[in-house]
Amino acid sequence: MTDTPNLPILLVPDPRLRAKAKPVAEADADRVRALAPRMLAAMYAAPGIGLAAPQVGELLRLVVIDLQKDEQQDPIVLVNPEIVAASKELATREEGCLSLPGQYAEVTRPAVVKVRYRDLTGARHEIEGEGLMAACLQHEIDHLDGVLFVDYLSALKRNMLLRKLAKELKAKQRD
């Protein structure tokens, strides 16, 4: 995708993962156009299906998603995404996060969402997601507000998961 080195993905408890990202302004256009392909490369290398700019240390409202249906890359770049509608119907599915590697939990969210965003040319779009796409859109947009999927869990489950991650990361550092 690009010849530049991969962007490192921040891991919990990095405080930048809890910061609120700022809207992308016209002055950020070149920076965002350069950042998006690097984010996609980092996401594919991880491997993952979504990545938000705060996860690579950029506090901008920028998200990349690729569900890779049929093993084909089909990326979407969302600049300043916002959820404009959400179903009352809820769906529960297992979620993970590149910033919490190897950790998964069941999360309940609206089953269908409509998201308004701009692409890299500045054109406005809307996407309606259901199933995995709905969960992915909500998960990545949460990152822009400093929210992690573990925030939807009970304190007990969240603490168990975070302790397990800390233990695994510590063990990896020793290896």
Which candidate in 71, 89, 94, 140 is catalytic?
A: 140
pLDDT tens track for 89-140: 999 999 999 999 999 999 999 999 999 999 999 999 999 999 999 999 999 9
> Confidence class of residue 3 from pLDDT cuts 50, 70 and 90?
low
Mean pLDDT of 22-42: 96
Q: Indicate if the pLDDT at residue 6 is higher than 80.
A: no
How far is Cα 40 from Cα 48, in angstroms, rounded to an integer?
A: 9
CA 115 to chain centre: 14
- The pLDDT of residue 5: 62
pLDDT tens track for 47-98: 999 999 999 999 999 999 999 888 899 999 999 999 999 999 999 999 999 9
Q: Are 94 and 104 contacting, i.e. CB atoms less than 8 angstroms apart?
A: yes
> Catalytic residue at 95?
no
Tell me the pTM.
Answer: 0.94
> Confidence class of residue 4 from pLDDT cuts 50, 70 and 90?
low
- The pLDDT of residue 24: 98
Q: Indicate if the pLDDT at residue 15 is higher than 60.
A: yes
> Confidence class of residue 175 from pLDDT cuts 50, 70 and 90?
confident
- The pLDDT of residue 71: 85
Q: Are 130 and 114 contacting, i.e. CB atoms less than 8 angstroms apart?
A: no
Q: Which two tokens stand for residue 28?
A: 């950020």
- The pLDDT of residue 172: 85
> Cis omega (within 30 of 0) on the bond before 13?
yes
